[in-house]
Amino acid sequence: MNAWSDRGHAAYWAFLVHRISGLALALFLPLHFVALAQALHGEVALEGFLRWTKAPLVEASEVALVFLLAAHLTGGLRLLFVEFVGWRSETQKALIATAGGAAVFCALAFALNLVQN
């Protein structure tokens, strides 16, 4: 049966972004911790690793990760607001749009600083 055509509304996309970003971040985090722990072997080891991250594909992934982190943050703030502060029907879509916009802004700010070398 047609199970997917009922999912077109904004709050549903917001949920999907939030869940998928959470999953992606949970998978990324151990790698992040291991990478930072390179410093245990001295500054040179960490520097060697950081040099690898300057590859374009890695930098693009970093921008994506920043977006996912910012999106998970803004989406989470929206949820905390809806759950603990209150509900106003008129502002629901505005909240989602604001959360999405703020996340894109963060990712773009990061990308801009990244390429401005």
Give the interface with other proteins as residue ranges (CB under 8 A): 1-7, 9, 11-12, 15, 19, 22-23, 25-26, 29-30, 32-34, 36-40, 43-44, 46-47, 50, 53-54, 66, 69-70, 72-73, 76-77, 79-80, 82-84, 86-87, 89, 92, 106, 109-110, 113-114, 116-117
d(CA 57, CA 18): 24
- Compare residues 36 and 94 and give the one whose CB is closer to other proteins: 36
Distance, CA of 109 to CA of 104 (rounded, Å): 9
Residue type, position 66, single letter: V
Q: Smaller CB distance to other proteins: residue 19 or 97?
A: 19
Look up residue 9 and give its DSSP letter.
S
CB of 26 to other proteins, least distance (A): 5
Q: HSE, CB side, 13 Å, CA atoms: give it for residue 11.
A: 8
